[in-house]
Structure 1
Amino acid sequence: MTQTPRPLPLAREHPLAPPPEYARLREESPVCPVALPDGKTGWLLTRFADVTSALIHPDVSARRGFQTSVTSVTLTPEEYLASGFGTSFIGMDPPEHTRYRRLLTGQFTVRRLKALAPRIEEIVDQHLDAMVAAGPPADLVRDFALPVPSMVICELLGMPYTESKQFQQRTDTIMRLERTKDELLDAMTGMASDMRAFVQEKRRSPDEGLLSGLIEAVPSDGVPLTDDELVAIGNLMVIAGYATTANMLGLGALALLTHRTQWVNLCEHPEYVERGVEEMLRFLTVGPFCLPRSAKADLEIGGQKISAGDPILLSTESANRDPAQFDAPDVMDVTREPKRHVGFAYGAHQCLGQELARMEMRIAFGRLTRRLPGLRLAVPVEQVPMCSDMQIYGAHEIPVTW
């Protein structure tokens, strides 16, 4: 590397805008050396074309070591295995990844999602009813954005909602940037233990939930999933289904209330909700620390030679603001004709739960704009406490009134 490695861009001038350095990097150094918090040096990709190319490149691996590129707290392989948390299939390559991918794709069926839709509508209505009954002011995160996806993921898995609070607390600990190794291990071992008990309960008393479906499913190799594999999948579903969707609901609401004309557009034209959701997924991101990858062999992306073993960070946040892919990318427009974005990544590792997330967002924003058209921020957007202390970006609180 001849260029001086720079830190990952994280400083924002506005809570809803990417770090401004990304615009300069796309122009001047779209594949640039980046200094990682763990002391390693890798490559940061910022253009849409390069990010999508890397996501489908056969020599770009999703496998990751136990060393994190986000926080300074590191687990050894022995500590990670001892946690019982399990190895997530999102950190695997084919053919190992393909086995899990096919199995899970068979569970996220159109039939299952259609059957879940009325329950999502009921959950959303219950929380809006409670907000309206309590009257303003309210915290849109506490009263709506957090509990709705928490209850939905419980419905999907077949998990009692009473058990979700513990999973939420442990997920928050795992996602914090500042936590001790003991705190991290305690959260991981506790979550693994609870999920293992849940798996064993579903083996005894199966239901129509996704976890029971995975227990009964037979993979392509004919070998049923073990408890360890089910624990890893269950933990991933809880973290992805709760934390990412909750923060996207909060960010989406904050963006709409900040860009007031877009809020009014959705209130007056409910037919724009589907487009509006796609625009939120493009315009906003809950993943500021990029998708971690590594080079399996020497390769070239964006005219830059990358050596085997080099870490690679893919900024979907920057890619979704690339003017080479999107017209006026820094403008939020809920009437925009949808175009392929990387809000759910791309290729073999594209998010399995993306249609569920879309459905939750469409129902949530459709009903929110209909029930509370006068909703507005109770404080200036600059005073909204953002999750700059978390691995997943969003808002800790969104004070609103109406």
Structure 2
Amino acid sequence: MADALAGRAPDATPPVAAYPMPRAVSCPLAPPPALQPLRDEQPITKVRIWNGSTPWLITRHADQRALLTDPRVSNDDRDPGFPYVNAHRAEIAHATPRLITNTDAPEHTRLRRTVNAPFLIKRIEAMRPAVQRIVDGLIDDMLDGPNPADLLTALALPVPSLVIAQLLGVPYADHEFFQRNSNLVLDNSVPAEEARAASGALAAYLDTLLAEKTAAPDADVLSEMGGRIKAGEMTHREAVHMGVAMLIAGHETTATMISLGTLALLEHPEQLAVLRDAEDPKVIAAAVEELLRYLTIVHSGIRRVAKEDIEIGDRVIGAGDGLLFDLHAANWDSEAFPEADRLDLSRPARHHQAFGYGPHQCLGQSLARLELQVVYGTLYRRFPTLRLAAPIDRLAFHHTGTTYGVRCLPVTW
């Protein structure tokens, strides 16, 4: 193998496609159709991104797992070869402090330790009754409100927004502010200056709130970070930017999964019936994993850069080369998930990569799982006749954001 690769230039494969790739209008819940032949025939290949650079696209489940745990693969977005998701991220990379989102061990290990405790499974599980009350209250409001309703604004956005606001210690009264600015930060079609202004507004907001929490702590994550600032374990600036990252990720992704998961289930009524009639929490938990696998809402891939040459398969990834990991392609890899294009709530799907993989996998995954289990385990039981109020081909989808989902989900019952 080494002899065969010795004469191969690290960038010998020409670009084959632009990335991210368009989805098929006729199959809006499936990965872009161009990904399947790439995964089957060129699982490690070059693609072209927004700035003309050509990072490697990794599409096989096994290859992603190997590379995402390889210490030669870095999350350092200050590296010149890092494949930024958009111009805004490229502009702010050198101005952003070192966080768990842009560092490697040992710095990543230190920073993750400062924010890990509130997201441990035991503490998250203790929130289940409170999350259940939030979901029940919002469903009561839906039942008393207009029919049809937009599930996104009536339930999908309020649930995670209320939960992350309570967890962080952010006033929910400000939810329109942080939802609006979060959308601007995550939308790759927004001009860099507009995204930068939105990011700055969120940082200024969290800066003020964190100072208040540090001076007068409460039982929330911002107060815990204030305590760590006083103890010299993290800086105020680090805490502000970590708070922004948690606030954005803590509501946007779960809201998308609630609405898109409901759409998928309404399109697969036999699977919806399984979940609606389930009484065993293990059945509901397994259904959440399969929906996470099937939908994999991270639309623009996760991004890394190689610090050294890496031989994998018949390719040599050169030091300084960017890497893109398309999680949806991996989660529809038939070698990892037989009949991967079929939604099957009985499938053992926990080894999916919807939350990434390796040391940088999603900090809030336990919280997201809890919220989805409560919503999916309650909504369809309370609305046994839930159905779409508009045909699926009339729905508008987000194609330019970090996550892929519906802009509105009209439902009736």
Determine the structure 2 residue equivalent to 1:258.
Answer: 267
Q: Does 1:93 align with 2:104?
A: yes
Determine the structure 2 residue equivalent to 1:4.
Answer: 14
Secondary structure in 2 matching 1:294: strand
Determine the structure 1 residue equivalent to 2:253.
Answer: 244
Determine the structure 1 residue equivalent to 2:85.
Answer: 70
Query: Which aligned runs of 4 or more in structure 1 are off by greater than 6 angstroms?
Result: none
Q: Distance in 2 between matches of 1:185 and 1:140?
A: 30
Q: Does 1:314 align with 2:325?
A: yes
1:388 aligned residue (396, 399, 403): 399
Q: Does 1:18 align with 2:23?
A: no
Secondary structure in 2 matching 1:91: coil
61-70 or 261-270, larger mean C-alpha shift: 61-70
Determine the structure 1 residue equivalent to 2:219.
Answer: 208
Q: Distance in 1 between matches of 2:73 and 2:177?
A: 36
Q: Does 1:53 align with 2:63?
A: no
Q: Distance in 1 between matches of 2:348 and 2:192?
A: 46
Determine the structure 2 residue equivalent to 1:38.
Answer: 51
Deviations 1:249-282 (A, max 9, x none): 1111111111111111111223321111000111
Gaps of 5+ in 2: 1-10
1:293 aligned residue (304, 307, 332): 304
Deviations 1:319-372 (A, max 9, x none): 000011111111001121234111111111111111111000000111101100
Amino acid of the structure 1 residue aligned with 2:405: G
Does the 8 A contact of 1:154 with 1:161 survive in 2?
yes
Offset of 1:114 from its aligned partner?
A: 3.2
Secondary structure in 2 matching 1:328: coil
Q: Distance in 2 between matches of 1:228 and 1:17?
A: 40
Does the 8 A contact of 1:140 with 1:399 survive in 2?
yes
Amino acid of the structure 2 residue aligned with 1:262: Q
Secondary structure in 2 matching 1:244: helix
Q: Distance in 2 between matches of 1:2 and 1:29?
A: 13
Does the 8 A contact of 1:177 with 1:391 survive in 2?
yes
Does the 8 A contact of 1:141 with 1:250 survive in 2?
yes
Q: Distance in 2 between matches of 1:160 and 1:69?
A: 32
Q: Distance in 1 between matches of 2:219 and 2:208?
A: 18
Q: Distance in 2 between matches of 1:108 and 1:389?
A: 29
Q: Distance in 2 between matches of 1:43 and 1:156?
A: 37
Q: Distance in 2 between matches of 1:240 and 1:208?
A: 21
Written as runs of structure 1 = structure 2, the 5 A alignment for 1:164-183 is: 164-183=175-194
Offset of 1:60 from its aligned partner?
A: 0.4
Determine the structure 2 residue equivalent to 1:152.
Answer: 163
Offset of 1:218 from its aligned partner?
A: 7.7
Gaps of 5+ in 1: none
Does the 8 A contact of 1:86 with 1:231 survive in 2?
no
Q: Does 1:118 align with 2:118?
A: no
Offset of 1:163 from its aligned partner?
A: 2.0
Deviations 1:18-53 (A, max 9, x none): 011111011110000111111211100000001111
Does the 8 A contact of 1:87 with 1:232 survive in 2?
no
Deviations 1:201-231 (A, max 9, x none): 1011111111212222489xx7332210110
Offset of 1:111 from its aligned partner?
A: 4.2
2:139 aligned residue (125, 128, 132): 128
280-289 or 62-71, larger mean C-alpha shift: 62-71
Offset of 1:76 from its aligned partner?
A: 3.4
Deviations 1:286-314 (A, max 9, x none): 21111100000111123310110000001
Secondary structure in 2 matching 1:16: coil
Does the 8 A contact of 2:55 with 2:83 survive in 1?
no
Query: Structure 1 residues 96, 215: CA separation in 2 closer, same or farther (over 3 Å shift)?
Result: same
Does the 8 A contact of 1:26 with 1:46 survive in 2?
yes
Determine the structure 1 residue equivalent to 2:277.
Answer: 268
TM-score, reference length from structure 1: 0.94
Q: Percent identity?
A: 38
Query: Structure 1 residues 230, 223: CA separation in 2 closer, same or farther (over 3 Å shift)?
Result: same
Q: Distance in 2 between matches of 1:111 and 1:212?
A: 19
Secondary structure in 2 matching 1:337: coil
Q: Distance in 2 between matches of 1:355 and 1:364?
A: 14
Does the 8 A contact of 2:293 with 2:349 survive in 1?
no
Determine the structure 1 residue equivalent to 2:244.
Answer: 235
TM-score, reference length from structure 2: 0.91
Q: Distance in 1 between matches of 2:90 and 2:19?
A: 22
Determine the structure 2 residue equivalent to 1:223.
Answer: 232
